[in-house]
Chains A and B, each alone.
Chain A
Amino acid sequence: MIHSIFWKEFREQRLIAGFLPIFAALIVLVSPLLAQSLTLSANDLTAIHQTVLIMFALGCGLVTGAQHWAAENETGTLVLLDLQPQWRRSFWWAKTSYGVLQWLLQMTVLIVVGILVSAISDLRQRVSWQPLLFVLSWSFLALCWSQMASSRTRTPLAAIGWGLLATLVMPWLSALITQLFMNPGVIAIYYGLPRSIVFRGFLTVATLSFVPILPLVISYWTITQPDRLRLQSGDTEATPVRFPAFRSGWRLAWLDVRGLLWPVAICLVLNVVFLRMEPTLLWLLLGNLTGLYLGVSVTGLEQDQGAFKLWADQRLPLGTLWGAKLLNRLTILAGTTIAAILLKVLVIYIYWDTSQQTGGVSQYNVATLIANVTPVYTLVIIGPLTGFAVGLCVSLVARKRIIALTAGGFLSLFLIMGWLPMLGSGGLQFWQWAGVPVVFIIVARMMIWPWASGQLNSRKMAAALFLPALFCVLYWFGVEEYRFRSVPSVGPLLQAAAFQRADNATRISHADRIKEIAKDVAGVKAEWIWETSQIDMKLHDLKYYQERLALKVFNDEYQKALKEGWNSTLPDFKKTVEKTVATGWIKRLALFSDIEFPDLGDPDDYSEPQRQLYYSLRFAGQILLMDALRLQAKGDLDQSEQQFRYVLYLVRLTGHRTPLDFQGWPERMEQEAMMAISRWAEGLTQKGGKLSLYRTIALLDEHLARRHTALEGLRNNYQARVKMLERPQVYWHEYVDYQSKIVRTFEERLSEGIWFGGIGSGSELRRRKALFDYWAAGYLKASQVDYPTLHRMNLAAAIKAHPEKMADVRLNISTSDWISPNRTEPTPEENLDDWAELSRLLSKDFQLQMTHNFFTRRRMELTCQTGLEMLKISLALHGYQLEHRAYPKTLEELSPAWFVKVPANPMRLKPFRYELIAGRAILRADDPFKTKTEQGLGSLQFPVSENDKLLGLVLEPLP
């Protein structure tokens, strides 16, 4: 018996059972080749491998379980088994055993492949159990639930469908129940449920084991029903069996709808299960496939079973019959769509509240992108309706439903993919896409009579597919052309070449201005200024470096050193030993301090003695710094300074490497050495601390002098600063190029992300380029206008758009520093209208990315200009203070000795604000860029507070 069943099942299932794991193995093993062309990272590849393994494991379980009973039902051979002298339960056990055995073999193959490609890596590590458990658990659940479905359905396909649905639903349900009891909250308190660990553990195990056991029990119960009836009968006379009576109408309706429910249910469940996937894209896909299935179902069954001529034999008119079935399916499709939306909303409402705060929004990036530019109803119906229309048409042509579903699936997905770039870029209105499904529906209607009467020859079939396809292509190109033409073209004044000429002139004038300022600055005793500002900066950054550089690096290195050699030592004793060793080394090295060590180069190239010396020095430096820190904390400044001196020796001896980071550039090391020293001065605001600080800096100066003079350093630093200030001035022509590249990269990314998107996104790129030109031209134009003018224009536009909200706001600014390029002198109202039109054409994502960068650049440029002017004034203020032993009372006093005219704030074209507080000179500039977005006002932004909008410079009197 067992032998017979095993033999039969093996012969029946060997092809598909072998194919699934082998195909999975091929995909997994070949995917690295594919990954090269897709430039996937190793992590991506592993994720893909794991996904493939899980999906195929799920498939193995589903197919194996679904075969058992549904296949017997489908071929009618269950009767043959029933006529054998065996109980049904024997068959059940034999078939189930075979299924489990086959499943185990399949899983073995998948797991071995998984281990080979490291998707299921080292099993000894606990974390690696997760993918393994995922593969096994999902697959086993699929096996159990599809076996249950197989016991209750007539075809394996239906069993797979229901099995998949149950596999997806039941673990969630079970997890929900478990979660409910594990975290009983108010329910437990209210009902007084016990909350002990034992109880929870019991409940969890019971609930989880319920998931795989339940389907097996149901399957066994269903299959062995004749056995039970026989056994219950015993020797007594058989009792009557009552069959439920159905009202024929409802029965017919149910029969018509029944076969459609499981795909619909799967669609809904997937919609909920993939909670973290972008809902818009998910629905495009799911809705499309569901629509396709329902479309195919209108005539697919009759086509599949060769019963299409029955249609022609009906008394009803063909159109009415077709229309009735069509409406039936459309009703189901509409219901599914509404249910999908409601379910999603419900699930998000229930589960998503916290995750929204932790980045939930960012996971909806592409969806947000599409939803922002495309009407919601389009997003909701484009997928289902396209799939439905294609399904209607294809099912009449394809001989089998499975062919119709496969071919229709490719076709409808292709159509959707073709629209995707437009959906995500500027939106897709209803009329722009609806022509395609309408044509498919019309063609399907026209084909009904030839189909039902058997006159649908190959020529008509070809026409039925070719004509709508041709129409779709023409329609698509028409829409594309319309969309392209709807973008305004840029006028001649703002063509790139002309603009760049103007921009170059601007840049040259900027550069001249900076050189002029540099000359002024060089005339002042700049080193004081520089030194003081550097010290201020160091003090300001002290905390940062202490956390980021000193403590972290030191701690890492120290911990490493401890692990390597001092693990067994008691802490106090260890410190003593470390200190002794370190200072011993240093003292010995100090004896040879006249010897200049060469640059040691890359430690990997050292000889063994060099390596030992190198690591000894490095370790010694760490110990010294630790000790210096300890001494500073104790207030023993002299000792601390001595340790710093040793540190500086180390810096010198090791080719200008600091003890903290031996791998960096020498120039950087100098800075970091200074920071490392400055770091100890935190909290040393008193006299002693300051003294210590200056001493250590003097020590560093000694070191710096070995490389270049202090003056050279100052000059270098100043030149670097000027360069930095110059940088925003090379703004437009480089930046526009840069942004163009971003746009193209964005497009390429979009294209790569979308199958068949090459044509669609390539064509859409033409429109985007035109949009970009128009949009960038507006910014280019704005860049030629001084800031106050631009500000006034934006203010006027904002007042027009939101008069009531703008009533009390004195200072405000729009992020859209954009002036309509096609108007010579647009009024604020016209500018606002043009901007609104442009916003409609652009996608939100595009706008945000581009506008933000342009805005930042604009701000950087103005901030640098402002900073430059302030630096110039501050130099003059220091000079004034050195001459008069005090700062001036007003800025005007700087003229004419220091300026012909004191520079004004370029942001406002008004004088800087200047105050004297407690002997300090405070120079301020309005920074209108520091703003926040107020809800309900779109892109308009407002200042945060009076203090936040100030760019300040506080000058300490020099000694």
Chain B
Amino acid sequence: MTAAIEMKSVTKRFGDRLVLDKFDMAVASGSIFALLGDNGTGKSTTMKILTGQVRADSGEARVLGRDAWVNAIALRHRVGYVPEKPKFYDWMTVAELGRFIGGFHQPGFLKRYYEASERLGLDTSRKLSDLSKGGYARAGLALALAIDPQVLLLDEPTSGLDLSTRREFLSGMVDLAAEGRTILITSHQIAEVERIASHVGLMVGGKLVMCQTLDELKSNIVRLVVQGNSEELPLPGLGTVLQSERFGNIWRGVVHKPDLTLLEQFAAERDTISFQFERLSLEEIYSSVIEFYGVKAAEIVNGGAR
């Protein structure tokens, strides 16, 4: 499978602040890639680099095989983008916005825009200033969809949307991916993202610390509960321990890539030890990874405002 989005060793600084540090990422075509990370870890900067708004200091960022900065103008016919805080001319109606933006795009834009608006439940005769926050976000999404994008970049697209709209929106993403489009999404609604994402990337401090399919991630990162003689703990073959706690002779931990064979063999040799695995939700995985990398995760998991 070819990569629709590819970033190699991308570095970006704003003044003295290092935002992206030799950032590597590859998003497979047709996938729904959830890019998760703490506030200020560089998710939006990544989006801006991919949309050609910001130039990387060094490294290579490619979308659909073309340089994201140099070929930004041409790529905008094929790449849709919904910014985190979309800004439109509030005096326009939804229809006028489509007509205005349609002037910059190829024929067929307006028709698709109306279709997308209808699908997203937008009243095209309403002024943008009268729309709710969710309506505003949907207008942005309608614009992005109207270009018939091969790649869709969504920067926190569901923030401000109510639950039903959010779910409807995200299920729409699955349909789009089914049509072969690639979707890169950043969001704080991790539980929602979990329902649709095929791939997950976890960012910490400007680096992508983990990048796997959701299934791989869930099978690689599990919770292990061990009961037994405390002197024999920790056990061999645990892999990377991301999080751990002990209650008497019970040891609980989140581990990355544990060696099951080794663990079972070890337990079989001793009657005093028993263990069991538990699958984790994406939120729990995210929290563990972030904590492991020394970052407060609780605020993110609880959906704290950016």
User: B54-73 interface mask toward A, CB cutoff 8 Å, 1 = contact, 0 = none?
Assistant: 01111110000001011011
Given contacts A77-B87, A85-B73, contact A243 B104 (CB under 8 A): no
The reply to whether B87 and A238 contact each other, CB–CB distance below 8 Å, is no
Interface residues of A in 1-40 (CB under 8 A from B): 1, 3-5, 7-8, 11-12
The reply to whether A8 and B58 contact each other, CB–CB distance below 8 Å, is no
The reply to whether B104 and A85 contact each other, CB–CB distance below 8 Å, is yes
A7 vs B16: C-alpha distance when bound (angstroms): 42
The prevalent SS among residues of A at the interface is loop
- Interface membership of A229, Cβ < 8 A: yes
- Interface membership of B163, Cβ < 8 A: no
- Interface membership of A84, Cβ < 8 A: yes
Given contacts A82-B53, A83-B53, A83-B76, contact A75 B87 (CB under 8 A): yes
Query: In the complex, which of the residues B16, B67, B70, B87 contacts A245, with contact meaning CB atoms closer than 8 Å?
Result: B16
Given contacts A4-B103, A7-B100, A85-B77, contact A235 B70 (CB under 8 A): yes
Query: In the complex, which of the residues B56, B69, B86, B89 contacts A230, with contact meaning CB atoms closer than 8 Å?
Result: B69
Residues of A within 8 A of B275 (CB): none
Interface residues of B in 15-31 (CB under 8 A from A): 15-16
Min C-beta distance of B51 to chain A, whole Å: 6
- Interface membership of B83, Cβ < 8 A: yes
A4 vs B101: C-alpha distance when bound (angstroms): 7
- Interface membership of A609, Cβ < 8 A: no
**Beta-carbon nearest neighbor of A77 in chain B:** B87
The reply to whether B100 and A233 contact each other, CB–CB distance below 8 Å, is no
Min C-beta distance of A223 to chain B, whole Å: 15
Given contacts A77-B89, A79-B87, A243-B15, contact A1 B76 (CB under 8 A): no
- Interface membership of A241, Cβ < 8 A: yes
- Interface membership of B277, Cβ < 8 A: no
The reply to whether B69 and A238 contact each other, CB–CB distance below 8 Å, is yes
Given contacts A79-B53, A83-B53, A234-B70, contact A1 B103 (CB under 8 A): yes
A774 vs B226: C-alpha distance when bound (angstroms): 113
The reply to whether B104 and A233 contact each other, CB–CB distance below 8 Å, is no
- Interface membership of B126, Cβ < 8 A: no
A710 vs B86: C-alpha distance when bound (angstroms): 106
- Interface membership of A499, Cβ < 8 A: no
- Interface membership of B279, Cβ < 8 A: no
The prevalent SS among residues of B at the interface is loop
The reply to whether A230 and B72 contact each other, CB–CB distance below 8 Å, is yes
Interface residues of B in 57-114 (CB under 8 A from A): 57-60, 67, 69-70, 72-77, 81, 83, 86-92, 99-105
User: B1-36 interface mask toward A, CB cutoff 8 Å, 1 = contact, 0 = none?
Assistant: 000000000000111100000000000000000000
The reply to whether B74 and A233 contact each other, CB–CB distance below 8 Å, is no
Residues of A within 8 A of B92 (CB): 11
Min C-beta distance of A19 to chain B, whole Å: 17
Q: Which of B13, B81, B89 has the most CB of A within 10 A?
A: B89
Interface residues of B in 238-286 (CB under 8 A from A): none
Given contacts A3-B103, A85-B76, A245-B16, contact A8 B69 (CB under 8 A): no
Interface residues of B in 167-219 (CB under 8 A from A): none
A923 vs B14: C-alpha distance when bound (angstroms): 100
Residues of A within 8 A of B51 (CB): 83
Residues of A within 8 A of B57 (CB): 238-241
Residues of A within 8 A of B74 (CB): 85
The reply to whether B102 and A4 contact each other, CB–CB distance below 8 Å, is yes
The reply to whether A237 and B60 contact each other, CB–CB distance below 8 Å, is yes
How many positions in chain B have a CB within 8 Å of any CB in the partner chain? 38
Query: In the complex, which of the residues A85, A229, A230, A238 contacts B105, with contact meaning CB atoms closer than 8 Å?
Result: A85
Q: Which of B70, B74, B91, B101 has the most CB of A within 10 A?
A: B70
**Beta-carbon nearest neighbor of B83 in chain A:** A79
User: A690-720 interface mask toward B, CB cutoff 8 Å, 1 = contact, 0 = none?
Assistant: 0000000000000000000000000000000
**Beta-carbon nearest neighbor of A231 in chain B:** B70
Residues of A within 8 A of B101 (CB): 4, 80, 84
The reply to whether B55 and A84 contact each other, CB–CB distance below 8 Å, is no
Query: In the complex, which of the residues A12, A229, A245 contacts B15, with contact meaning CB atoms closer than 8 Å?
Result: A245
A504 vs B33: C-alpha distance when bound (angstroms): 113
The reply to whether B58 and A240 contact each other, CB–CB distance below 8 Å, is yes
A193 vs B195: C-alpha distance when bound (angstroms): 80
Min C-beta distance of A162 to chain B, whole Å: 24
Min C-beta distance of A327 to chain B, whole Å: 31
A108 vs B201: C-alpha distance when bound (angstroms): 61
A810 vs B62: C-alpha distance when bound (angstroms): 104
A11 vs B103: C-alpha distance when bound (angstroms): 15
- Interface membership of A87, Cβ < 8 A: yes
- Interface membership of A86, Cβ < 8 A: yes
Min C-beta distance of B8 to chain A, whole Å: 10
- Interface membership of A435, Cβ < 8 A: no
The reply to whether B103 and A5 contact each other, CB–CB distance below 8 Å, is yes
Residues of A within 8 A of B15 (CB): 243, 245
Min C-beta distance of B154 to chain A, whole Å: 13
The reply to whether A75 and B76 contact each other, CB–CB distance below 8 Å, is no
**Beta-carbon nearest neighbor of B60 in chain A:** A237
Min C-beta distance of B201 to chain A, whole Å: 22
The reply to whether A4 and B104 contact each other, CB–CB distance below 8 Å, is yes
A50 vs B275: C-alpha distance when bound (angstroms): 95
Min C-beta distance of B149 to chain A, whole Å: 12
Residues of A within 8 A of B53 (CB): 79, 82-83
The reply to whether A87 and B73 contact each other, CB–CB distance below 8 Å, is yes
The reply to whether A76 and B87 contact each other, CB–CB distance below 8 Å, is yes
The reply to whether A229 and B55 contact each other, CB–CB distance below 8 Å, is yes
Residues of B within 8 A of A1 (CB): 103-104
A77 vs B75: C-alpha distance when bound (angstroms): 20
The reply to whether A238 and B55 contact each other, CB–CB distance below 8 Å, is yes
A360 vs B203: C-alpha distance when bound (angstroms): 75
The reply to whether B70 and A84 contact each other, CB–CB distance below 8 Å, is no
A488 vs B58: C-alpha distance when bound (angstroms): 87
Query: In the complex, which of the residues B60, B72, B83, B89 contacts A75, with contact meaning CB atoms closer than 8 Å?
Result: B89
Min C-beta distance of A75 to chain B, whole Å: 7
**Beta-carbon nearest neighbor of A7 in chain B:** B100
A773 vs B265: C-alpha distance when bound (angstroms): 124
Q: Which of B59, B76, B102, B104 has the most CB of A within 10 A?
A: B104
The reply to whether A12 and B77 contact each other, CB–CB distance below 8 Å, is no
Residues of A within 8 A of B52 (CB): 230
Residues of A within 8 A of B91 (CB): 11-12
Q: Which of A1, A8, A235 has the most CB of B within 10 A?
A: A8
Interface residues of A in 69-111 (CB under 8 A from B): 75-77, 79-80, 82-87
**Beta-carbon nearest neighbor of A79 in chain B:** B87
Residues of B within 8 A of A79 (CB): 53, 83, 87
A4 vs B77: C-alpha distance when bound (angstroms): 17
Residues of B within 8 A of A76 (CB): 87
**Beta-carbon nearest neighbor of B80 in chain A:** A83
A235 vs B73: C-alpha distance when bound (angstroms): 14
**Beta-carbon nearest neighbor of A75 in chain B:** B87
User: A218-255 interface mask toward B, CB cutoff 8 Å, 1 = contact, 0 = none?
Assistant: 00000000000110011101111101010000000000
Residues of A within 8 A of B99 (CB): 4, 7
Q: Which of B74, B90, B100 has the most CB of A within 10 A?
A: B100
26 contacts between A and B (CB under 8 A): A1-B103, A4-B99, A4-B100, A4-B101, A7-B100, A77-B88, A79-B83, A80-B89, A82-B53, A84-B104, A85-B77, A85-B105, A229-B55, A230-B52, A233-B70, A237-B58, A238-B55, A238-B56, A238-B59, A238-B69, A239-B57, A240-B13, A240-B57, A241-B55, A243-B13, A245-B15
Residues of chain A having any CB pair with chain B under 8 Å: 1, 3-5, 7-8, 11-12, 75-77, 79-80, 82-87, 229-230, 233-235, 237-241, 243, 245
Residues of chain B having any CB pair with chain A under 8 Å: 13-16, 51-53, 55-60, 67, 69-70, 72-77, 81, 83, 86-92, 99-105
The 9 closest A-B pairs by CB, nearest first: A4-B103, A85-B76, A76-B87, A84-B104, A240-B57, A85-B77, A243-B15, A86-B104, A4-B100
Since A80-B89, A83-B81, A230-B69 are in contact, a sample of 17 more A-B pairs with Cβ atoms closer than 8 Å, ordered by chain A residue number, is A1-B104, A4-B101, A5-B103, A8-B100, A12-B89, A83-B76, A84-B105, A85-B105, A87-B73, A230-B73, A233-B55, A235-B70, A238-B55, A238-B57, A240-B13, A240-B57, A240-B58
